[in-house]
């Protein structure tokens, strides 16, 4: 019998056998070649974090409480986000595919998929299986459009997982003149340099004050001589708050780390923008919104490609983002070499999945190879 990767309980991955479903007239059967999980929000459910059991009420636009007894309702649960495979069977009414076609889609990690033909898409020419598994991170990273990067801007990217490494490239494509990439892992920093970052920094440098280090990198130490003050009605004193114009114009936080968000705030210039791509599923204790955030009049933007409609709808919608992502992957404008790492055989999938939760430094975006 074929097998699939599931979580039988929180943080308990295992391979489970399943029975192959009968093929219906409009269905195709896919033999999986390569698959990958989603390292961010998928892990929230895998861990059974409290936020995972809170339903979103689209009418109220609010997340609602969930009774504790429903917390484990999602187990066992399938694991995985995207997969690439070959069509091995096609029902008599299938019109989009033929046996032998290579396809991809949002599928769990399992040896076969029996799905309606509308659930899969033909792998575009020029897009490798590894690049196809990066479609989701590319679409998520394209949400940085909301940050309004302009030609010549200075940009900082915090967190160099799959989304962060792609964000480095997209910032350059958007016209950024200078991109600094921040991550504690040396291999990720090296990959960021290969993908276009101008400077890479370890967030533990300068006793963890990488935000101040970035400010100092963006220009000479400003003149600290007192500035003239202008008295206006009521006795107010008008004077420049920041005189050196130091810091990046746009900071993009992709790691979901509260310390990283704090340093993004610290590093951004007066009036600059911070784009939150990450999902902060836990208590944000330790995030301080005084000091630079208050004084420097920063703009904080939350982005999520799948929260529809987008800020610039209807001109841009999810389909347009996906089409652009696939075209740029096919044209090689977005590099993905090294992002799907490590790639392990399906037999090792359970332990490899456990590792992305318990030892995240060992992977960027896990790939599962099928025989």
Q: Please check whether residues 260 and 276 belong to one and the same domain.
A: yes
Q: Please check whether residues 345 and 218 belong to one and the same domain.
A: no
SS3 81: coil
- Strands 154-158, 56-57: parallel, antiparallel or unpaired by DSSP? unpaired
Q: Please check whether residues 91 and 36 belong to one and the same domain.
A: yes
pLDDT tens digits, residue range 246-273? Answer: 999 999 999 988 999 999 999 999 999 9
Q: Please check whether residues 162 and 292 belong to one and the same domain.
A: yes
Contacts for 330-334: CB closer than 8 Å, 24+ residues apart = 330/124, 330/125, 330/126, 330/127, 331/126, 332/126, 333/169, 333/173, 334/134, 334/138, 334/166, 334/169, 334/170
Q: Please check whether residues 112 and 169 belong to one and the same domain.
A: no
Instruction: Specify if 320 maps to a domain.
Output: no
Instruction: Specify if 319 maps to a domain.
Output: no
Which domain-ending residue is among 279, 302, 325?
A: 302
* Residue ranges with strand state E in the chain: 3-9, 12-17, 27-36, 56-57, 62-63, 77-78, 82-90, 102-105, 112-116, 121-122, 154-158, 178-182, 199-201, 230-232, 236-238, 248-253, 268-276, 299-302, 340-345, 365-369
The predicted structure's pLDDT at residue 281: 64
The predicted structure's pLDDT at residue 58: 84
Q: Is 170 exposed, middle or buried (0-12, 13-18, 19+ CB in 10 A)?
A: buried
Q: What is the CATH number of the domain that holds 53?
A: 3.90.180.10
Q: Please check whether residues 38 and 174 belong to one and the same domain.
A: no
Q: Please check whether residues 183 and 250 belong to one and the same domain.
A: yes
Q: How many domains does the chain fold into?
A: 2
The predicted structure's pLDDT at residue 79: 97
Quick check: pTM over 0.85?
Answer: yes
Which domain-ending residue is among 251, 285, 302?
A: 302
In tens digits, the chain (371 residues) has pLDDT values of 999 999 999 999 999 999 999 999 999 999 999 999 999 889 988 998 766 567 788 888 887 877 766 655 679 999 999 999 999 999 999 999 999 999 999 999 999 999 999 999 999 999 999 999 999 999 999 978 888 999 999 999 999 999 999 999 999 999 999 999 999 999 999 999 999 999 999 999 888 899 999 999 998 765 556 667 777 787 777 766 666 689 999 999 999 889 999 999 999 999 999 999 987 766 667 788 888 998 899 999 998 877 778 888 889 889 999 999 999 999 999 999 999 999 999 999 999 999 999 999 899 999 999 99
Which domain-ending residue is among 284, 302, 320?
A: 302
Q: Please check whether residues 81 and 221 belong to one and the same domain.
A: no
Q: Please check whether residues 98 and 145 belong to one and the same domain.
A: no
Q: Please check whether residues 8 and 47 belong to one and the same domain.
A: yes
Instruction: Specify if 256 maps to a domain.
Output: yes
User: Beta-carbon neighbour count of residue 288 at 10 Å?
Assistant: 12
Cα–Cα distance for residue pair 264/129, rounded to 1 Å: 34
Cα–Cα distance for residue pair 144/157, rounded to 1 Å: 11
Q: Please check whether residues 143 and 279 belong to one and the same domain.
A: yes
**Which residues fall within 8 angstroms of residue 55, CB to CB, at 6 or more apart?**
63, 64, 66
Q: Please check whether residues 255 and 279 belong to one and the same domain.
A: yes
Domain span at 272 = 138-302
């Amino acid at each position: 019998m074929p097998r699939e990767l599931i979580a039988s309980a929180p943080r308990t991955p295992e391979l489970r056998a399943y029975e192959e479903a009968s093929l219906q007239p409009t269905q195709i059967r896919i033999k999986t070649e390569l698959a990958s999980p989603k390292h961010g929000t998928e892990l929230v459910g895998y861990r059974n974090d409290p936020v995972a059991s809170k339903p979103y009420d689209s009418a109220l636009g609010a997340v609602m409480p969930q009774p504790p007894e429903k917390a484990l309702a999602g187990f066992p649960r399938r694991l995985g986000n995207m997969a690439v495979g070959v069509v091995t069977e096609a029902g008599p009414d299938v019109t989009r595919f033929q046996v032998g076609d290579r396809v991809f889609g949002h599928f769990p990690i399992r040896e076969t998929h029996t799905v309606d033909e509308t659930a899969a898409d033909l792998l575009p020419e020029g897009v490798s299986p590894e690049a196809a598994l990066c479609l989701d991170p590319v679409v998520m990273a394209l949400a940085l459009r909301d940050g309004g990067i302009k030609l010549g801007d200075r940009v900082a990217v915090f967190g160099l997982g799959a989304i962060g490494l792609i964000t480095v490239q997209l910032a350059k494509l958007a016209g950024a003149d200078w991109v600094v990439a921040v991550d504690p892992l040396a291999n990720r920093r090296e990959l960021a340099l290969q993908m276009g970052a101008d400077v890479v920094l370890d967030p533990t440098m300068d006793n963890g004050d990488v935000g101040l280090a970035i400010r100092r990198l963006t220009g000479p130490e400003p003149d600290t001589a007192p500035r003239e003050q202008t008295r206006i009605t009521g006795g107010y004193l008008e004077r420049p708050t920041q005189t050196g114009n130091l810091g990046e114009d746009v900071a993009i936080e992709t790691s979901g780390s509260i310390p990283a968000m704090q340093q993004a705030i610290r590093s951004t210039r007066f009036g600059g923008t911070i784009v939150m791509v990450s999902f902060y599923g836990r208590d944000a204790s330790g995030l301080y919104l005084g000091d630079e955030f208050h004084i420097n009049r920063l703009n904080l933007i939350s982005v999520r490609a799948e929260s529809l409609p987008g800020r610039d709808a209807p001109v841009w919608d999810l389909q347009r983002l996906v089409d652009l992502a696939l075209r740029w992957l096919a044209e090689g404008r977005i590099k993905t070499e090294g992002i799907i790492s490590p790639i392990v055989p399906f037999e090792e999938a359970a332990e490899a999945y456990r590792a992305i939760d318990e030892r995240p430094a060992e992977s960027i975006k896990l790939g599962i190879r099928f025989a």
